[in-house]
Amino acid sequence: MKNLASYIDHTILKPETTESQIRQLCKEALENRFFSVCVNTSFVPLCKELLKGSSVKVCAVVGFPLGAMSTPAKAFETKWAVENGADEIDMVIQIGALKSYQYDYVRTDIQKVVEAAQGRTVKVIIETSLLNHDEKIMACQLSKDAKAHFVKTSTGFNGGGATVEDVQLMKSVVGDALQVKASGGVRDQATAEAMIRAGATRLGTSSGVQLVKNQTATSGY
């Protein structure tokens, strides 16, 4: 398996996150050549400045972590993030709308973020721990219909994270049209590699440094 660093969105999303922690996050991302850093939108300008000239992308979360914000609010947050340097957007769906069979609402909610992202990669967080089997399938299908680029398992803030079974299910629905990001609970090399084998092409984790160190120690990268 290739270097895990190339799969990792190096993440810090806690509400108490400080500027010094963001600076450390970006430093680690540069040192380990992670794919991106994933942060709340207020930190996008700082990350863009700290990562200038590097290959590390800036990923911003939108409507996070609940997804229950209005569609115009999500679109505005996306537009602001893009204008201030975000390369990718991870948005949370309106989970209650999905559970209420308001599929047009959910589809439009995603579409408006995709439009506001102006061609940037959009990952749709479906929050698998709160969905049943059929709802997971529908969330993936709606994300596909809305022309998103990824479906993502979890925020990590609602009591459940990625599972191999969910990644496999999501990949079976989206096929080659979308990619899958596994996020929440990816803290060791065995879990990371299991997610990749199940179909994930991106991993959201705050444990990226340790994952890469472990892989280097075991495989000689």
Mean pLDDT of 5-18: 97
Supply φ then ψ for residue 152, to 5 degrees: -125, 140
Q: What is the mean pLDDT of the chain?
A: 96
Please indicate whether residue 188 is annotated as part of the active site: no
Which structural domain, as residue segments, surrounds residue 178? 4-216
Whether 43 maps to a domain, the answer reads yes
Q: Which of 57, 123, 171, 181 is catalytic?
A: 181
Whether 183 maps to a domain, the answer reads yes
Q: Which of 9, 90, 109, 166 is catalytic?
A: 90
Whether 221 maps to a domain, the answer reads no
Number of structural domains the chain divides into? 1
Render pLDDT for 109-167 as a digit per residue (tens, 0 to 9): 999 999 999 999 999 999 999 999 999 999 999 999 999 999 999 999 988 899 999 99
Please indicate whether residue 57 is annotated as part of the active site: no
Whether 72 maps to a domain, the answer reads yes
Confidence of residue 221 (pLDDT cuts 50, 70, 90): very low
Whether 64 maps to a domain, the answer reads yes
pTM recorded for the entire structure? 0.96
Report the CATH number at residue 76. 3.20.20.70
Q: Which of 74, 112, 144, 152 is catalytic?
A: 152
Whether 118 maps to a domain, the answer reads yes
Residue by residue, DSSP assigns 74-102 as HHHHHHHHHHTT-SEEEEE--HHHHHTT-
Widest CA span of the chain, in angstroms? Answer: 50
CA–CA separation, 75 vs 91, rounded Å?
10
